[in-house]
Structure 1
Amino acid sequence: MSADSEDEFMSGMSSEGGFEDGNESDSVSFGEEFEDDEPALDFGLHDKDITSAPKKPYEVDFDVFGPRDIQKYQDKQIDEVGAILGQPPESTAILLRHARWNKERLIEGYMDHPEDVLEKAGLGLAGAVPAKTMVVDGFVCDICCEDEPGLETYAMKCGHRYCAECYRHYLSQKIREEGEAARIQCPGDGCSRIVDSKTLELLVEDDLKDRYHELLTRTYVDDKDNLKWCPAPNCIYAVECGVKKRDLNRIVPTVRCDCGHYFCFGCTLNDHLPTPCALVKMWLKKCEDDSETANWISANTKECPRCNSTIEKNGGCNHMTCRKCKNEFCWICMGVWSEHGTSWYNCNRYEEKSGSDARDAQAKSRQSLERYLHYYNRYANHEQSAKLDKDIYLKTEKKMTNLQSSSGMSWIEVQFLDTASQALQQCRQTLKWTYAFAYYLARNNLTEIFEDNQKDLEMAVENLSEMFEKPTSELAALKVDMMDKTSYCNKRRIILLSDTAENLKNGSWKFNIDINTA
């Protein structure tokens, strides 16, 4: 985060905003007084720029925060609540974690039943005990049975005393091997007292302290409905988004982490616009269940529709030319390629069969499989093409360097290749999921518009993908054309996603399954 955004983060930490959502679906186990359904509040960590461009229908508000930002906010809450409850910081932290950081409920419950709250949080009513090790005459450790004179020992206020070395080993195992931090209990048999930060700071090494605080931060994010860690490998950022679980059938909350990774805030899978999480879950399960069919469909070779020669697809473009007979055809529908740039283009649309074609169970089953294969074939193809296009993207920098050398362009001037490559991958990702969406879509007038938008984007993507396969020597002359096609692809994607998102929010789409029970 920038310094400015960090200032905004800190300025937004009032008792009325910040991270104080009520976790509406999760109640705190302090007693019935904590069971009310308080709606989750918007974090409000950043003041939105009122001069910024209006959001597109498929976009959602979100913010990205690093571990230091989250730690600062935790410390601020601990100080505020500790001053009200009269508890030391380490005890306040345990209370807040038990209350899932809902400080209003914690304070209310503590004022009504302090003993009950302290007991359930794992603090108990015993008086404060100095956080220090001591030597106790005649002590025998119940864990290692060591009884040598001068043995350092430690006990929390529950009174369960063990040698310091056994305590250290216990804490190390909990933190390093079990990944526990927020709810580490006393090693005493049946004791529910929680190990506080002072105990840990006293007993463990510095590297383990760092791991302990890292785990506490992760626990904090996991306890918040409106905060999630970015699922990208080794990413340290958390994303805040106000979309609730109950809205996931109307909204696809795609967010972008500061690491550059796009993912769905609802299910944390990679970006699957425009398909809602419930349909994504069903589609992936169906593809997994029909794995043998999927394996057959996703084979890398097909036969030329004219001469039956075996052809392997080695690029993202679907425009195929048979080396043997020179026949030009579409890899998807195997139709004549010349028709794909005209009004006859109909590759994306599944033609429903009439009822008379499915008179018996076997025919209906065959028709159902044929329909599934139509959509899965196109879904799998865009997935495969995206991988091939990504290979092209990885080679783009080399192409850009070669283009600089051959054309005399500057590094800035050849960036159009990088922009086009990224647009191509993003559009492929969108197209892939439009076929999963279309599979569950019930046909009506809106479906025709959706398929027309899908077709327009698909044609634009194929045109751009084909240009990427041109020799480097021709790319300089194609710069303007490629920039235009990149812009057109992005526009068609926005149109498709905007129209789909608006109809999803309005409940205008009808599906052939009950999405609310998925």
Structure 2
Amino acid sequence: MDSEDEFNSSMSGNDFDDDSDMDLEDDSDFEVDDVGFESQDKDIKPTRQAYEVEFKVFDPAQIQAQQDNQINEVATILGQPPEAAAILLRHSRWNKERLIDQYMDKQEEVLENAGLGQDAATNPPKIQKVKGFVCDICCDDSPDLDTFAMKCEHRFCVHCYKQYLSNKIQDEGEAARIRCPGEGCTRIVDSKSLDILVSHELQARYVVMKQSKAAMTNWQRYQVLLTRTYVDDRENLKWCPAPDCKYAVECPVKSKDLTKVVPTVHCDCGSDFCFGCTLANHQPAPCSLVKRWLKKHEFCWMCMGIWSEHGTSWYNCNRFEEKSGSDARDAQAKSRQSLERYLHYYNRYANHEQSAKLDKDIYLKTEKKMQQLQNTTGMSWIEVQFLDQASQALQQCRQVLKWTYAFAYYLARNNLTEIFEDNQKDLEMAVENLSEMFEKPIDQLQTLKVDMMDKTSYCTKRRIILLNDTAENLKAGNWDFNVPLS
């Protein structure tokens, strides 16, 4: 079946350049720079549809490797230890070109702003006993007290330091930008210090608790948080929003381009989502229109005023503001004129949303239906795959149709609108015909196989035509909307 699900998410073997803007006018001009991954270019690449965008999916190990490669590269160029280079990169949000330029021009200022200070490249700190030391946190003055201080020389006992770091990592979820516990100190705790203090303690707990899963989770949490910070800091990397998904997706589409493209990406976990807003796939509607469509408008039914300004008088409004109330009622009268138009689009949006849920329920029963068809007709497993393909096509088309009505609601009328509505109508009719065939009894499905395969292919092609048409006109700025996209 022709579908964008066959699109290979690893079609490009190079990473995307953070500093380059995506040229939406000419896809052939898009180039990427390697930042640490092995080339996976293939001799034959699938043709990319107008509504598709380039993207790559990475697992945690690949993200860690990419992060380590950049740290080592910057450490070599700047002559700093890896732990200091990591802090510098996090401060610059992993824009290494900008970091190197600024470092070469204003080294002292860059180090100070990043929380390293001028002594960043000196010998690493260590745990030691200091004669006559009194901890400023717990006031312990034991002669055999182990103490620790970073290069800022704010010294505390090891127990207090460990407790401080443990709270930051486990309770507050902080890892990349933990500051020295000294009052007013801006120095950042580097990975060497954390290795000395936190790692050894958690290792000890791990041994004592005899390989407890809880202890192992605490032991790994710091690295997990660093990886999360790395992804969150980079504009072209985002975590898949699916529950319990471990993958991150890289896409070159910038925020400023979201008025011209709907960047839907496909994670290896099987979920599709918009890279721009991380909501579920909402093609062909741009993110700004989706936000407007889903937004809740709250107001007081008594005085028609803004709900948030009612303070403690909610549900018991005692306001009387003749002017504002009159204006609100005038606006309400005008809005009634457009209510019928809104309901036209919303009802169809809601119908396709409900139908998609029903189709999904049917999909969950598809395998059982396929097994029954094998048993009753003697068809092989391969021969009954047309049911699975039809079920997937129905879900994909319903999702697109749902958002075409939200898209159409904000469209201003012109010649393109008529073409869009024709494409929408063709797809809708094809989907309803396929859905009707899909619900036929088992004993009729064998005779309908060829027709179902034809309808499945037709639905997929009509969906691609509709998405390509809307994407091309959106990119070219040909659509007129009755609301601003920005």
Give the counterpart of 1:69 among 62, 73, 90.
Answer: 62
In the TM superposition, residue 41 of structure 1 has moved relative to its aligned partner by: 8.1
Equivalent positions of 1:178-189 (< 5 A) are 178-189=172-183
* RMSD (CA atoms): 2.5
Contact 1:57–1:501 (CA under 8 A) maintained in structure 2: yes
Q: Name the amino acid aligned to 1:508.
A: N
Contact 2:16–2:252 (CA under 8 A) maintained in structure 1: no
Going from structure 1 to structure 2, the CA distance change for 1:478 and 1:170 (only over 3 Å counts) comes to: same
Contact 1:262–1:271 (CA under 8 A) maintained in structure 2: yes
Larger RCO of the pair (alpha carbons < 8 Å, separation 6+) = 2
Instruction: Give, in whole Å, the separation in 1 of the partners of 2:337 and 2:158.
Output: 71
Q: Name the amino acid aligned to 1:193.
A: R
Q: Name the amino acid aligned to 1:369.
A: L
Instruction: Give, in whole Å, the separation in 1 of the partners of 2:164 and 2:16.
Output: 33
> Helix, strand or coil for the counterpart of 1:53?
coil
Q: Name the amino acid aligned to 1:419.
A: Q
Deviations for 1:35-81, whole angstroms, at most 9, x for unmatched residues? xxxxx984556565463232111111111111211211221222222
Deviations for 1:180-239, whole angstroms, at most 9, x for unmatched residues? 111000111111111110111111225444211111111111121111111111111111
Instruction: Give, in whole Å, the separation in 1 of the partners of 2:219 and 2:16.
Output: 25
Contact 1:20–1:103 (CA under 8 A) maintained in structure 2: no
In the TM superposition, residue 437 of structure 1 has moved relative to its aligned partner by: 0.5
Going from structure 1 to structure 2, the CA distance change for 1:430 and 1:238 (only over 3 Å counts) comes to: same
Matched, 1:119 2:79: no
Contact 1:21–1:42 (CA under 8 A) maintained in structure 2: no
Going from structure 1 to structure 2, the CA distance change for 1:209 and 1:117 (only over 3 Å counts) comes to: farther
The equivalent residue for 1:355 is none
Instruction: Give, in whole Å, the separation in 1 of the partners of 2:446 and 2:166.
Output: 60
Instruction: Give, in whole Å, the separation in 1 of the partners of 2:106 and 2:54.
Output: 39
Structure 2 unmatched ranges of 5 or more: 1-8, 22-29, 204-215, 302-329
TM (norm. structure 2) is 0.81
Contact 1:274–1:437 (CA under 8 A) maintained in structure 2: yes
The equivalent residue for 2:343 is 373
Contact 2:274–2:280 (CA under 8 A) maintained in structure 1: yes
In the TM superposition, residue 131 of structure 1 has moved relative to its aligned partner by: 3.6
Equivalent positions of 1:53-202 (< 5 A) are 53-126=46-119, 128-202=122-196
Instruction: Give, in whole Å, the separation in 1 of the partners of 2:138 and 2:54.
Output: 55
Going from structure 1 to structure 2, the CA distance change for 1:175 and 1:20 (only over 3 Å counts) comes to: farther
The equivalent residue for 1:457 is 427
In the TM superposition, residue 485 of structure 1 has moved relative to its aligned partner by: 1.2
Instruction: Give, in whole Å, the separation in 2 of the partners of 1:484 and 1:19.
Output: 39
Instruction: Identify which range, 362-371 or 492-501, moves more after superposition.
Output: 362-371
The equivalent residue for 1:211 is 221
Q: Name the amino acid aligned to 2:19.
A: G
The equivalent residue for 2:232 is 222
TM (norm. structure 1) is 0.76
Instruction: Give, in whole Å, the separation in 1 of the partners of 2:286 and 2:373.
Output: 41
In the TM superposition, residue 384 of structure 1 has moved relative to its aligned partner by: 0.9
Instruction: Give, in whole Å, the separation in 1 of the partners of 2:129 and 2:58.
Output: 45
Structure 1 unmatched ranges of 5 or more: 13-17, 25-39, 293-359
Q: Name the amino acid aligned to 1:225.
A: E
Deviations for 1:256-277, whole angstroms, at most 9, x for unmatched residues? 1111111111111110010111
Identity %: 69
In the TM superposition, residue 252 of structure 1 has moved relative to its aligned partner by: 0.8
Give the counterpart of 1:235 among 232, 245, 263.
Answer: 245
Instruction: Identify which range, 100-109 or 428-437, moves more after superposition.
Output: 100-109
> Helix, strand or coil for the counterpart of 1:263?
strand
Equivalent positions of 1:256-335 (< 5 A) are 256-285=266-295
In the TM superposition, residue 148 of structure 1 has moved relative to its aligned partner by: 2.7
In the TM superposition, residue 410 of structure 1 has moved relative to its aligned partner by: 2.1
Going from structure 1 to structure 2, the CA distance change for 1:23 and 1:125 (only over 3 Å counts) comes to: farther
